[in-house]
Structure 1
Amino acid sequence: MRAKDIMSSPVFTVGQGASIESAAELMTARAVTALPVVDTGGALVGMVSESDLLWHRVPSDPTAQQRRGPETDPQRRPGAVVEVMSRSPVATWPGADVAEVADQMLRNDVRSMPVVDDGRLVGIISRRDILRAMVRGDDVLAAEVQHRLDAYADGRSRWTATVEDGVATVAGGFADETERTVVAVLARTVPGVAAARVGEVTSS
């Protein structure tokens, strides 16, 4: 399963000069926890998260403020996204394996990751997207694998697909090694399928 199979697209973005308030409104309206930040040419230049926007916006313990005085000088309080965004966003590409994406998210402690293709922002993946793809039941996965195989065979039921614990098994013969390889790839590309087992070539 690849990043392109589960990414959300098109992507809601925000400009560097956008106000923190407008970015917060967009996050709330679109129910997202982070936004890619783009320059005037549309290139990815950063990521801004809920925690970034809350920085300098939510007062700390009032008793502590009384001892230290105002925590934030209103004249110095950040007003634009560019002032609070992460400037070195962790990104991935459409063909990346989802397991690799998940590992990157955990290692870098990020909840969303932009997907970039040849310099263009083409999608975004959240931890929720990964979880949603991974928790689908075997019956649902088997039905989707079967649908793809039947479509490849022009509507004929040449193979039978079953899935157990995320592993797809395709029963039926294959005309040649190329056909066998294509069927295996089709089964593996179904989001949620961890591996695929296929039969042997039955004729030359």
Structure 2
Amino acid sequence: MRARDIMTRPVARFEPATSVREAIASQVRGLFSDCTGRLELWSVSVTGGLVTVRGKFSDEAERRLGTALAKTVEGVTAVRLAAAFGVDLEEG
């Protein structure tokens, strides 16, 4: 290998931020599925440490449970619950 070849190849490989976001979202989805068995009711997105859960919650207890579950995932700093049609329900 020539010196020029070394300089044109990446020295270190960095994982894109999307993989971290997807890992957090996947863990939150898994917790929702394990706990409720109704994953299809919610979508999860992550921006920074903010997890946004969109979907239908049957009552206040289910909203509190969703918030508490999401907060147990490493890297989550805040949780926002939003109705499927975009109205924020709660921030925590």
TM > 0.5 between the two? Answer: yes
What TM-score does the superposition give when structure 2 sets the normalisation length? Answer: 0.64
Please, which of 133, 136, 139 is the counterpart of residue 22 of structure 2? 139
Q: Distance in 1 between matches of 2:75 and 2:30?
A: 15
Aligned to 2:32: 149
* CA RMSD, 1 decimal: 1.9
Q: Distance in 1 between matches of 2:46 and 2:71?
A: 11
Q: Percent identity?
A: 32
Aligned to 1:183: 66
Task: Kindly name which structure, 1 or 2, has the bigger radius of gyration based on alpha carbons.
Answer: 1
The code of the aligned residue for 2:23 comes to V
What TM-score does the superposition give when structure 1 sets the normalisation length? Answer: 0.30
Unaligned runs of 5+ in 1: 1-135
Q: Distance in 1 between matches of 2:34 and 2:80?
A: 19
The code of the aligned residue for 2:25 comes to A
CA contact (8 A) 1:169 1:198 kept: yes
- Deviation >2 Å, runs of 4+: none
Deviation at 1:166, TM superposition (A): 1.3
The code of the aligned residue for 2:43 comes to T
The code of the aligned residue for 2:29 comes to Q
**Length, aligned pairs only:** 66
Structure with more helix by fraction: 2
Please, which of 149, 154, 158 is the counterpart of residue 41 of structure 2? 158
